[in-house]
Amino acid sequence: KQEVTQIPAALSVPEGENLVLNCSFTDSAIYNLQWFRQDPGKGLTSLLLIQSSQREQTSGRLNASLDKSSGRSTLYIAASQPGDSATYLCAAFNNAGNMLTFGGGTRLMVKP
């Protein structure tokens, strides 16, 4: 059974700092890896999707990498802003293509 872990569970940084969020998964046989953002009381917003054949994806100040062999993905946020404060979740799609397994999330606070 796939297990996805995100460390740390919470992170507080000053505005402007570059930061890395970590995601690890136990079964490397994944179809893709997805990163989401969740604001309090809201649904999830898709940020990036990395196919299993890819090493990284970029969108604006966000860069996500994937290392299947080590079972790890990272989300890099450049020049963090208070508006980046949210919970960030990663999720691994199994090879059967029918189930997305989520990590517990990292709650990020960017202080002005």
Partner 1 sequence: DAGITQSPRHKVTETGTPVTLRCHQTENHRYMYWYRQDPGHGLRLIHYSYGVKDTDKGEVSDGYSVSRSKTEDFLLTLESATSSQTSVYFCAITSAGATDTQYFGPGTRLTVL
Q: How far apart are CA 50 and CA 47, in angstroms?
A: 10
- Closest approach, Cβ 58 to partner 1, in A, equals 15
Name which of 49 and 62 has its Cβ closer to partner 1. 49
Kindly state whether residue 62 participates in binding partner 1, applying the rule CB under 8 A. Answer: no
Name which of 34 and 65 has its Cβ closer to partner 1. 34
The answer to whether 107 and 10 are in contact (CB under 8 A) is yes
Kindly state whether residue 31 participates in binding partner 1, applying the rule CB under 8 A. Answer: yes
Tokens 């507080």 -> residue: 12
Give how far Cα 3 sits from Cα of 28, 36, 63, 70, 91, Å: 10, 17, 23, 14, 10
Give the footprint of partner 1 on this chain (CB under 8 A). 31-32, 34, 36, 41-46, 49, 89, 91, 93, 97-105
